Structure 1
Amino acid sequence: MVSVEELEAVLPSMTPWRVPGGRGVDWVALEAGLGTALPSDFRSLAEAYPVLVVDGFLTVSVPRPGAEALWASEAGNDEVLQDLFEMGDTGDYLPFPRPGGLIAWASSGSGDAFYWRTSPAADPDAWPVVVRGDNGDWSEFPVGAVAFLAGVYGRTVEVGGMPGDFPGHDPRVLGLSDDVR
């Protein structure tokens, strides 16, 4: 599993946003509200960083301490995904909380969505990342969120259907303070 420090190595502009000592997310409340545990790499990222926006394009949504229930509700109830599912436009992907359903953890300014494909039988650390491109492309990657981000920004993972300038050559990261959200 790729660590937050490995992601920082390929995306060094995120490090000024690291929260010393952690952010204090109530994981018990969040996971109870969501109805499932979450991957440990994401938990580590969410403890170290607030919401991150990379190059004004990719927003990595992490729970804000005190608003865990809101994050669980938004991540587990993706209305766009539900609409696409009802129209038959999700292939074999299902909205959460259906078994194997998708939970959102990031989005782009172009309407792309980044999910985990859950599995009630598998450890959350084994959940793959699924990307729904705004153009209707679906891609699945056998890695967690942190490894996916490190691969994208380290240029070892290519995501089809993304804009030609994604990822940028010198990506800049903006952290959204917990006080802002």
Structure 2
Amino acid sequence: MLRVEELEAALPSMTQWRVPAGRSVDWTALEADLGTALPSDYRSLAEAYPALVVDDFLFVSVPRPGVETSWASGARESAEILQDLYEMGDTEDYVPYPRPGGLLRWAESNEGDYLYWRMSSPDPDSWPVVVRGANGDWSEFPVGAVEFLAGVYRRTIDVPGLPEGFPSDDPKVVA
């Protein structure tokens, strides 16, 4: 798993949003509500940063301290949407959380692309990233969230179906 600092190297404009003292997410409450632990790289990202928007395109969702259950509620709502797609046969046999091996959303684009973890193992650090493009393309990557983002912005990971020109040559990050 990549460290957050490696993502910062790929996206230097994000560092202005780092919370110097860290954020105090109540992982125990959040993970009890979800019924699962979350990957350690993502936890490190959420401890260092608020939710981020990259290049006015990609929204990386992280829980907010004090209202962690709202993140869990959002995860359940996105699972309901994915359940509808699954029932229509539009998920290439991916199943929604909380089913075994289900998809749990952690980011999305402003054009309808969704980034999930495939909860394929009891060890969240081994969950691959799955992307459903707005055009219905599905892609799976055997990396965690931080490594995925760093790879996309370093241009070492290519995601089929994402818009032409993404990522930009100088991606800006806002919180």
TM-score, normalising length: structure 2: 0.97
Structure 1 residue runs without a partner (length 5+): 176-181
- Match runs of 1:26-175 below 5 Å: 26-78=26-78, 79-119=80-120, 121-175=121-175
Q: Which runs of 4+ in 1 moved over 6 A?
A: none
Shift of 1:80: 2.6
| Contact 1:39–1:125 (8 Å) recurs in 2 | yes
| Contact 2:103–2:116 (8 Å) recurs in 1 | yes
| Contact 2:86–2:93 (8 Å) recurs in 1 | no
- CA distance in structure 2 between the partners assigned to 1:56 and 1:66 by the alignment: 27
Structure 2 residue runs without a partner (length 5+): none
1:129 counterpart letter in structure 2: V
- Percent identity (aligned): 72
| Contact 1:128–1:144 (8 Å) recurs in 2 | yes
TM-score, normalising length: structure 1: 0.94
- CA distance in structure 2 between the partners assigned to 1:117 and 1:76 by the alignment: 15
Shift of 1:91: 1.0
- Match runs of 1:9-24 below 5 Å: 9-24=9-24
2:101 counterpart letter in structure 1: G
2:68 counterpart letter in structure 1: E
| 1:15-39 CA distance string (max 9 Å, x none) | 0000011110000000000000000
- CA distance in structure 2 between the partners assigned to 1:80 and 1:56 by the alignment: 24
